[in-house]
Structure 1
Amino acid sequence: MRSRFSIRGHPLHPLLVTAPIGLLTWAFIADIVYLASGKADVWYDISFWSGVAGIVTALVAAIPGFGDYLSVALYSDARVMATAHLALNLTVVGLYAVAAAFAADEGATRGADLGIVVALHAVGVALLAVSGALGGEMVYRHHLAVIPDDAEHEVSERRHHRVPLLR
């Protein structure tokens, strides 16, 4: 299946997801460095702004992703997988949005709020990894948003062609 949202045949969603994956992961890493560094303010700021940028870029990446989602056949294994991928990513964005709300308050640099922010980021990164694995499965197993190679398609067709039984 070709992507509905592509530039010269190259699907946009896989290109765009690299930014939020990196930014959201970096926000969690910055949390760890913040705690390990004796709470240097710069790492708190890096975590906060990386999380916010990750939310924004995730929503941008979701636009072509949702367009591709709508083209997946209903009642198929790929649709179930795509729905789980969508739900996980929306959950991740929600977790990071709640974390950003807690982190926007300077009180989150210490105490229970800081623990909540770090926990939300940790769960978010774990869910992001699961969602990424599902995204990879959709591409590699179900061939969603790929450009079929005509020669490979012909070989595959010959390999899977059913020969009628001779009677």
Structure 2
Amino acid sequence: MSRADSGEDAGPNLDPLHAPKVFDDTDTRIAIAGHPLHAMLVAFPIALTVCTLGADLLYWWTGDGFWARVGLWAIGTGFLMGLLAGLTGTVELLLVPGIRSRPASWTHFVIAVALLSMLGANFGLRLSGYEDAVLPFGILLSGLCVGFTALTGWHGGKLVFDYRLGTGGSAS
């Protein structure tokens, strides 16, 4: 068995079956009473992104400016909560060796940064005139954001449920 096959000094291509002990260190470092902060925060931007698409569709259907205003507030709050969730996720990525050493973690990071960029663009589009921004570009961007939210959430869920990343731990 070669050194690469044994997991010793495998470099960037780690064999998960013979991975070094660093792979086992996946407990959260940012938690409140043992509950991972990133996992608690991501629910808000997910829900608010979906609400934005719903508000856009209702504005399209009714023409009532109330729904365009709801969309502005939902995407703005979703973007800010996404930044906060992204900050906690980035700190986890950088502080926890078992998370940092997995390529799938970096893939989730890149997808999440792309999503945050889209959320910010959607919010920025609405700042100068929220009613005019909804059709056609706002609603299309909201649909794209919901799609990327689903992709990012699915990938993050795979990291938590399949790899058990960022769970447990004694941080408080």
State if a TM-score over 0.5 links the two structures: yes
- Check 1:45–1:94 CA distance in 2 against 1; reply closer, same or farther (3 A cut): same
Normalising by structure 1, report the TM-score.
0.78
Question: Is the Cα–Cα contact under 8 Å of residues 103 and 114 in structure 1 kept in the other structure?
Answer: no
Give a deviation string over 1:38-67, Cα, whole Å, max 9, x none.
Answer: x10000000011000001001111122112
Larger RCO: Structure 1 or Structure 2 (Cα < 8 Å, ≥ 6 residues apart)? 2
CA separation in 2, counterparts of 1:74 and 1:89?
15
Give secondary structure in 2 for the equivalent of 1:145: coil
5+ unaligned residues in a row in structure 2: which ranges?
A: 1-25
Question: Is the Cα–Cα contact under 8 Å of residues 88 and 128 in structure 1 kept in the other structure?
Answer: no
Q: Which runs of 4+ in 1 moved over 4 A?
A: none
CA separation in 1, counterparts of 2:105 and 2:47?
21
CA separation in 2, counterparts of 1:142 and 1:114?
41
Alignment of 1:47-86 (within 5 A): 47-70=71-94, 71-73=96-98, 76=101, 79-86=102-109
Deviation (angstroms), 1:105: 2.4
* Seq. identity, %: 24
Query: Which of 127, 138, 143 is 2:159 aligned to?
Result: 138
Query: Which of 118, 142, 157 is 1:95 aligned to?
Result: 118
Normalising by structure 2, report the TM-score.
0.76
Residue identity opposite 1:54 in structure 2 = G
Residue identity opposite 2:118 in structure 1 = L
Let me know the Cα RMSD of the aligned residues: 2.0
